A and B are shown apart, each in its own frame.
Chain A
Amino acid sequence: MSANILLIDDYEPTALTMKVICEEKGFSFHHAQSAQDSIKIASDTVFDLILVDINLPDKSGTDLAPQMRDLCPTAKIIGFTADKEAVEENDAGAFDSLEQKNLEVTFIEDRLNSWLYNA
């Protein structure tokens, strides 16, 4: 049940937390700190799931989503933000869904199942 996951987020504590949870669950985890990095990584690798932070250093995650869609047409692309208001006030746009960030283990395990397997 291995899947290839890319997290695009410039906050290191978030990235390490997600990496440990994903790897403990047996997934292959990749991390990009900026939109530019993510485009390079996604040009070489096929991902099943791409989690995109909204506030990236070089571009908004919302603007990056369509590019990710072109590079990885089969991936599920999720907007994943700490900004509760952004989730409440915006529709998903180019994302498959826009969700509020929560890094607690059971939440992430549950969301990974849902994002990857529609469980």
Chain B
Amino acid sequence: MSPTPIKKTANITSESDFLANISHEIRTPVNAICGISDLLNNFDLPPEKQKDLIEKLNISARQLKELINDILDFSKLEAGQLTLSKRTFDLFGVLKDVYNICIIKADEKNLKLDVPLTFEGSQQYIGDPTRLKQILLNLMSNAIKFTDEGSVKVSLEKLSDLDHNRVMLRINVEDTGIGIPEDQKEKIFDKFSQGSAGKGHGREGTGLGLTITKHLIEIMEGSISLNTKEDEGSSFIVDLPLEVDHQD
């Protein structure tokens, strides 16, 4: 499999699908939040049942928060109003944070999650750790979402020194999931696209995650490409220039 370079964001082809999908994605947790709070208000339930309901209320509220964050990020990116912060961060601190979030979902699906926690290169970089974390979280969550058996593996490689201060890092997120059909490979980063796994296939999501990821990588002056084969898995390859913190 040779990597497919990803074209610049294509024209909107499925805006109405996106609107239908996003309204469903918003209404589902909103219905649960309204229903559960109404239940807790109307019935004198035993503490165990109340605890279960509050846990589900929390799941729905978090899900809604993530959706709203995605929609707001997407709007900012489209308007060219998203700016990056610049500060020193530990690359493995970022990876560890993302691992701690993703391992819960991976364990639920009995998937092996392999994330490197050591690296021969520098560990301290200067950039926007929050947005880097968002890129990794989007790619890893997506890999877990579309993988039912096997593993999700992240690998890191220093490709080259760009100059005294900057290196080109390659981050590869590889899964053994359902893969992406040939005819959808180039559309997968388009806004509102969710490949073959949209409505009726039980994979929730707005179809904005990969679009946001690609936008973020581009404003960091990096690039993303995709290797994939249907029913065998996908590999998202991110090449990202990062400034090394020489005080490391």
Contacts and interface: CB of A to CB of B under 8 A. Distances in A.
A58 interface: yes
A76 interface: no
Interface string B195-229: 00001111100000000000000000000000000
Given A54-B200, A101-B27, 5 more contacts: A13-B36, A13-B56, A13-B59, A14-B32, A84-B27
Contacts, number: 83
A16 B36 CA distance: 9
A83 interface: yes
Interface of B: 20, 23-24, 27-29, 31-32, 34-36, 38-39, 42-43, 45, 49, 52-53, 56-57, 59-60, 199-203
Contacts of B34: 102-104
Contacts of B201: 57
Given A24-B43, A55-B202, A17 B56 contact: yes
Contact of B23 (A14, A83, A102): A83
B205 to A, nearest CB: 12
12 contacts: A11-B32, A13-B36, A13-B60, A17-B53, A56-B200, A56-B202, A57-B201, A58-B202, A83-B24, A103-B32, A103-B38, A105-B43
Nearest to A35: B202
Given A17-B36, A84-B23, A102 B202 contact: no
A60 B38 contact: no
A20 interface: yes
Contacts of B23: 83-85
A104 B20 contact: no
A31 to B, nearest CB: 13
Interface of A: 10-14, 16-17, 20-21, 24, 34, 54-60, 81-86, 101-105, 108
A24 B43 CA distance: 8
Nearest to A102: B31
A103 B31 contact: yes
Contacts of A58: 202
A13 B202 contact: no
Given A55-B199, A58-B202, A85-B23, A21 B56 contact: no
Complex A-B, nearest 9 residue pairs according to Cβ-Cβ distance, in ascending order: A103-B35, A57-B202, A13-B32, A13-B56, A82-B27, A17-B35, A60-B200, A83-B24, A82-B28
